[in-house]
Amino acid sequence: MIEITHGDTTTLGARCTRDGTNFCLLARSASDVDLLLFDRVDDAEPARTIPLRDGGHRTRNYWHVHVAGVGPGQLYGWRVRRGPDAPVDDRADQEKVLLDPYAPGVALPRGPVREAARRPGRNDALAPKSVVVQEDDFDWGDDEPPEVPLDRMVIYELHVGRFTRHPSSGVPAELRGTWLGVTHKIPYLLDLGITTVELMPCFQFDEQQAPAGRRNVWGYDPMSFFAPHLGYATSPDPRVARAEFRTMVRELHRAGIEVLLDVVYNHTAEGGADGPTYSWRGLANSLYYTLDEGTGAYADFTGCGNTINANESVTRRMILDSLRHWARDMHVDGFRFDLASILSRDRRGRVLRNPPVLWDIETDPILARTKLVAEAWDAAGLYQVGSFEGDFWHEWNGKFRDDVRAFFRGDRGVAGRVAMRILASPDVYEAEAREPEQSVNFVTCHDGMTLNDVVTYADKHNEPNGQANVDGNNDEVRWNGGVEGPTADPELEGRRNRLVKSMLAVDLLAVGIPMLAMGDEFRRTQHGNNNPWCETLPEDSPPGAEPHPPGPYDVDWTTLARHRDVHRFVRELIALRHQLWPFENRHRLTLTEFLRRTRIRWHGIALDKPDWSEPSHSLAFGVEGDTWELYTILNAWSEQLEFELPRIHRNFGVWRRLLDTALDAPEDIRPLDDARTVRSASYVAEPGAVVMLARPRAPARR
């Protein structure tokens, strides 16, 4: 027997109680609201409709009801009717079944869900459904956050589906491409030296937001900010998805690996005016989205059709509640914010000096232990690298990527900039009075080509995306050495391999937090596609069909065997960083203080004579640590260069060669206790090579 009472506004969403569930929804301007209870996800009619009207079920803009006898697993949705006083810019298809924005579980019927949500009229059978879940139904055991120190972090960006979906992954077939599949690769991540995984979007996203005959794979089109993506679970049951996500986090934590989520709070899957009505559009369109004041049209600072009105109070609360949910209930260690500069804009799109939502996030006590990483730009030209608001944010350093690539491509005028990138970009960050780890350094990420493809393709090859190759970055720094695509020429292939190792060396040895994109450590390829956000559906596969077979951009683990030398190089390089890195910031100094204490000397081919001129393509530097002196050479010229070495000094022993990217394995990198000695007064660096030498400091005499 279902008993209905007024309920309360204590918690938005569906909250389980001792004898039922309390439902609470924000629906501004609604004249009446129906709570719809479904027995099955594809039912054409709700099993029970509970109409809510003014009075006991409405408090200001909040609609609420307590339903006894309803518990975990219940499917539900909302139908909202707009009152005569609703703003003209509120678009509400009053027949649509709407998702609860706060539902931590979403169930999806098979079929053209997106199209049904776009066309007028009812969509009950094809509507996504919210699911009641019990928050405390998981055994976390003794789970604790690893809390890896900033100067020990090595981030590995991965896509949950593509990381293990290929048959060569070694993951059991039923677990490939899932949360649990990631747990099978924990030994691999540990062996490589990874401390932190950054997962591409894990919120429930709209796979049908893609050109005809394709599906969205990347996940940058969220349908929910609270529910884990069903496509990464072993079952379409949302409760299974939640449990398996939590299992993945728990097992990564047991291995000492942190979990960061790539979160998308800048737009939603509802798109522009012709997009579907899933949730926010039908509830309070003008609160959740940034609209043109004159026309009511969606502002598009994201390139995805709409822009979230992040600094509106209701939306700010939703973003904060979402982050708290993932940190508190799902034990996530931090977040990377996609197009984070959107969070700096007001409801008109103007840039705010002190964006409330950013300070809300930074000062929230539940989020105080989490790590916050910003992609500090948006699709409308706002670029805030080095000026992103806040005291504790780290930033993807896009300038690091571009300058390191340009240097090894042989561009002019880059040598001085690369020196800055190696030192955590003081030209960008020094004025911020922040720590060196503000800079997250990378040479590749999901956006753009893989590192293998950066040195293999001069042109992008995005035709499989179905957008006539107009999508993706046209200005990405890339080159092919004279041959487009793979080559059988051993000399060219050797040069490409050298450049891959050299850029990885700079990434992993520079000051800041290094980040690797999955598979770069063994030259994964995307065949020249620099925007593989979607993939072709199998023939005769209807929208929403399962399962998802392997795709052309999945990590092909057979590549590891072909490029085992690069994999070994990266593993030893990370170990070298942890063992010998002279830039540890043990005292949490600001970048300015850190550089003041760092004993670094810049050189050219002659000692103390760096070449900062426009045509320069080389540099060298020495760093004197507490127990070691390091000497590093970068040669991006197309010819050999001979570099003078610091002379023998009574405080130091003989030089040992730790790495030379021009040499074949295993001479390309050797452990400290097995490094070759260098007794000459100079060292010849090959074109495109990075060399690092070390010599121990003699013990002090008593």
Report how far residue 505's alpha carbon sits from residue 501's, in angstroms, rounded to the nearest whole number: 6
pLDDT block averages, 10 residues each, the chain of length 702: 88 95 93 96 97 89 96 96 75 88 97 96 97 90 95 96 96 96 98 98 97 95 98 95 97 98 98 95 94 91 96 97 97 98 94 95 96 96 94 96 98 97 93 88 98 98 95 96 97 98 97 97 98 87 66 95 98 92 72 86 97 97 86 97 87 88 97 92 97 81 48
Q: How many domains does the chain have?
A: 2
Give the other-Cβ count within 10 Å of 614's Cβ.
Answer: 10
Evaluate whether residue 121 is within a structural domain. Answer: yes
- Whether residue 162 is contained in a domain is answered as no
The domain boundary, picked from 111, 131, 151, lies at: 131
Q: Which of 198, 258, 360, 375 is catalytic?
A: 375
Judged by DSSP in three states, 438 sits in helix
Q: Which residues contact 10 (CB under 8 A, 6 or more apart)?
A: 22, 24
- Return the pLDDT at 293: 86
Other CB atoms within a 10 A radius of the CB of residue 155 amount to 27
Residues 171 and 548: their CA atoms lie apart, in Å, by 15
346 found inside a domain: no
Residue 513 pairs in a beta bridge with 440
- Dihedral angle of Cα 384, 220, 366, 387, to the nearest 10 degrees: 0
Structural domain contains residue 278 = no
Bridge-based pairing of strands 513-517 and 439-441 is parallel
pLDDT attached to residue 652: 72
Tokens, residue 222? 């969220």
Joined tokens for residue 404: 């390191």
Can 300 be counted among the known catalytic residues?
no
The residue from 131, 152, 171 where one domain ends is 131
pLDDT score for 544: 61
Question: Can you give the pLDDT at residue 631?
Answer: 96
Closest CA to 197 of 141, 238, 224, 159: 159
Task: Determine the structural domain holding residue 668 and report its residue range.
Answer: 593-696
656 close to 693: Cβ distance less than 8 angstroms: yes
Q: How far apart are CA 105 and CA 240, in angstroms?
A: 10
Residue 36: CATH number of its domain: 2.60.40.10
Instruction: State residue 240's pLDDT score.
Output: 95
End position of a domain, from candidates 113, 131, 149: 131
pTM (2 decimals)?
Answer: 0.96
Work out whether strand 196-199 and strand 258-263 pair parallel, antiparallel, or are unpaired.
parallel
Active site residue 338: yes
* The one catalytic residue among 157, 244, 338, 556: 338
Considering the domain boundaries, does residue 548 fall inside one? no
Would 409 be classed as within a structural domain? no
Count Cβ atoms below 10 Å from residue 651 Cβ, excluding itself.
12
Residue 111, number of CB atoms within 10 A of its CB: 16
Reduced to 3 states (helix: H, G, I; strand: E, B; else coil), residue 23 is: strand
Give domain status of residue 465, yes or no: no
Query: Does 178 fall in a domain?
Result: no
What are the angstrom distances between the C-alpha of 552 and each of 533, 535, 555?
12, 8, 9
What's the CATH number where 667 sits?
2.60.40.1180
Concatenating the DSSP letter of every residue in 166-193 gives: SGGG-S-GGGTTSHHHHHHTHHHHHHHT
- The number of angstroms, rounded, from the C-alpha of 643 to the middle of its chain's C-alpha atoms is 39
Cα dist. 408→570, 615, 665 in Å? 18, 13, 21
